[in-house]
Amino acid sequence: MIEGDIHNDKNVNMKGIIHFIDIRWTGLQKILSSLLVLTLSCTSDGYRYSTDYPCNFRFYTNYHPTSILTRVLDNPGLYVWIEVQKRQGVNHLMVYPSNGDSNEDIALTTEIENNRVYYYDMGANGQLIVGCTPFGEWRAYDRQCPYCLDNTSSLSHPLTWTSNSQSVECNDCHRVYNLSSGISDDGKRLKEYRIQTNGTVIQIHN
């Protein structure tokens, strides 16, 4: 083999090595990019959802198909706030809609609802806001004002509907929170919980 042929072979081999390294580096970049997106997503979720107060609520929509709570997730712009009261040994789910409709008193009389599901963990003071934004996104919030919870010793700072039913106001500090974003004008965020449904059960949890 003459010297020119050796030189050409070296060039070909070097180009092949560079091409191989370039492919591996491109693949590595894609993997790193995907990991970064996943990390940021997890961090965002971790920041968005509150773990300050235990929350684990279940509602069996198949037992109560006409309840406004059953329908709320399919009605953009509609919200309710809920609490559970126990009267004469029976759990009652109280539902208070934002649109002016009548309040609901739902007796939870099935075996699973009254004896096997516990309603002690429903946020700071046992009251939750549940609904669907005008954009079709589900929301579940603690009904207590987050600013007052963080700055006082009391757990009772209930939020009430504003006139447009798309925001809530604290009776104590008078902050107003947008229910779509969960944020007040000065940037304070409502304590938000995860919400899921499989068509028969609505679950709200940390």
Cβ(49)–Cβ(193) below 8 Å? yes
- List the chain residues with pLDDT less than 70: 1-46
The strands making up 167-170's β-sheet, listed across from edge to edge, are: 159-161, 167-170, 176-178
According to the model, what pLDDT value does residue 18 have? 52
- Count CB-CB contacts under 10 A for residue 95: 22
pLDDT in tens, 4-59: 555 555 555 555 555 554 555 555 554 444 444 344 444 456 689 999 999 999 99
The model's pTM: 0.79
Q: So what's the pLDDT on residue 47?
A: 82
Confidence at residue 22, expressed as pLDDT on a 0 to 100 scale = 57
**Those residues with Cβ within 8 angstroms of residue 169's Cβ, 6 or more apart along the chain or in another chain:** 159, 160, 162, 175, 176, 177
In CATH terms, the fold of domain 56-205 is Rieske Iron-sulfur Protein (2.102.10)
* pLDDT of the residue at 34: 43
